[in-house]
Amino acid sequence: MKKQERQKAIRVKLVTDKKVYVSELAKELSVTTRTIRNDLNELSQNSLFSLFHGGAQIKSAPDESLFEQSFTNTILNGFKSHKEITSVSAHAKQNSYIDDSIYILGSFNIDIVSETTTFPQIGQTIRASATRFYAGGKGTNQAVAAAKINNNVHLTVKLGADEFSKKAKRYLTNTEISSFSFFENEMSSTGIAMVWVSGATGDNMISIDLGANETFTQEDILLDIDTIRNCKVFLTQLENNFPITRFAIMQAKLGKSLVVLNPAPYVSEIKEILHLIDIITPNKIEAEALSGINIVDIYSAKNAARSIYVQGAKCVIITLGSDGCLIFDGTVFTHIPAYKSAVVDTSGAGDAFTGALAACIANGKGLINAAQYASAFASLKVERKGASNMPNNSLVYHRMQ
């Protein structure tokens, strides 16, 4: 067994059993005790494991008070340029130490989309003009968007043990996303979203059965610990179980990652971790829930953004649909008008914006330029059917010009 494979096996056993012993590992892996001790010494360097005489054990989760970090000005002024990456390991779970890498803890859903002339009222039955099946999930959508712009996107999802799981893997491995962590829960189904799209306006209504998305465990996250702590941008949403999302964000803050959160679907517990978030991207409804302020114009949106900032988020970007987006960094408000578009389907528009924003930041763009690009990217997305049907770079630059 090669060293990399052996150490991976040791990591898995540590996460599962919490404690391992040199003599048992040597026998199980058919190597000398000296080799195991060397492996444990190397693994203990990432601060996740600690050594004791005769073995190693997993450390307990760190206290939240350790994660308070001030927001650096680099995100506002642009990052330093980094070396170009010429080769990427495709479609495999990997540890990432690449300067412009993005780690996305996300969700995968099968989207069942019905196109209707109007939305049904309570007790009303209406006829759909068409029903289609798409790949979806906010994390998946954002990863597909980010991968159009950045070559080093890692997506972690949890699937059910069903026929949708195989289809999900087949779909994802044919996208431009560079690497994956696929986890499965045999007791749950793959997530499913029911989407109604108005043929007249392109507006949508969505209900979600999260299924396996809600069954992430700390052990799942710890298996990805090196990738999480060493990525440039850590991006997540709220379609997974909140305690584990919170735990993953805390792990990202222990490393060098910039944390971006899309607070959807909204849960009130999000306020507990706002102080851990570098950039938050709520839409109008989510911003109202976070701030308690009714948003009716740019002035009220500014008040809402200020309230969210005061609660702890380092930078607030409220997406306002046809009114563009509003950025507040704690000092300056910047309003970016929306690009004109021929709206067909608004599902996935927020995901397109957030995924593109994260990718631009990872690539070294300043915040304002990244948001301008993301706005153009999202304006092209709504001209396409399917939440994960994202535009290409060339189209975005053409629209911006």
To the question of whether residue 322 is assigned a binding role by annotation, the answer is yes
- The Cα–Cα gap between 27 and 148 comes to 46
To the question of whether residue 213 is assigned a binding role by annotation, the answer is no
Extract the tokens encoding 153.
């996107």
Which among 220, 224, 226, 351 is annotated as catalytic? 351
To the question of whether residue 384 is assigned a binding role by annotation, the answer is yes
To the question of whether residue 30 is assigned a binding role by annotation, the answer is no
To the question of whether residue 345 is assigned a binding role by annotation, the answer is yes
To the question of whether residue 239 is assigned a binding role by annotation, the answer is yes
Q: How many CB atoms lie within 10 A of CB 173?
A: 14
Characterize the bridge pairing of strands 325-328 and 315-319: antiparallel
To the question of whether residue 138 is assigned a binding role by annotation, the answer is yes
> Going by C-beta distance under 8 Å and a sequence separation of 6 or more, which residues neighbour residue 350?
262, 264, 281, 283, 319, 378
Q: How many CB atoms lie within 10 A of CB 373?
A: 23
Long-range contacts of 174-177 (CB under 8 A, 24+ apart): 175/143, 175/144, 175/147, 176/144, 176/147, 176/148, 177/91, 177/143, 177/144, 177/147, 177/153
Decide if 351 is catalytic.
yes
- In contact, 221 and 247? CB cutoff 8 Å: yes
Supply φ then ψ for residue 50, to 5 degrees.
Answer: -125, 150
To the question of whether residue 236 is assigned a binding role by annotation, the answer is no
Closest CA to 104 of 317, 361, 358, 364: 358
- The Cα–Cα gap between 375 and 366 comes to 14
To the question of whether residue 324 is assigned a binding role by annotation, the answer is yes
Run of H or E residues at 73: none
- In contact, 60 and 78? CB cutoff 8 Å: no
What does the DSSP 8-state code read for residue 355?
H
To the question of whether residue 319 is assigned a binding role by annotation, the answer is yes
To the question of whether residue 245 is assigned a binding role by annotation, the answer is no
To the question of whether residue 189 is assigned a binding role by annotation, the answer is no
To the question of whether residue 140 is assigned a binding role by annotation, the answer is yes
To the question of whether residue 355 is assigned a binding role by annotation, the answer is no
To the question of whether residue 253 is assigned a binding role by annotation, the answer is no
To the question of whether residue 320 is assigned a binding role by annotation, the answer is yes
Annotated binding-site ranges for substrate = 109-111, 137-141, 239, 351
- Catalytic positions, written as ranges: 351
Annotated binding-site ranges for K(+) = 345, 347, 381, 384, 386
Annotated binding-site ranges for ATP = 283, 319-324, 350-351
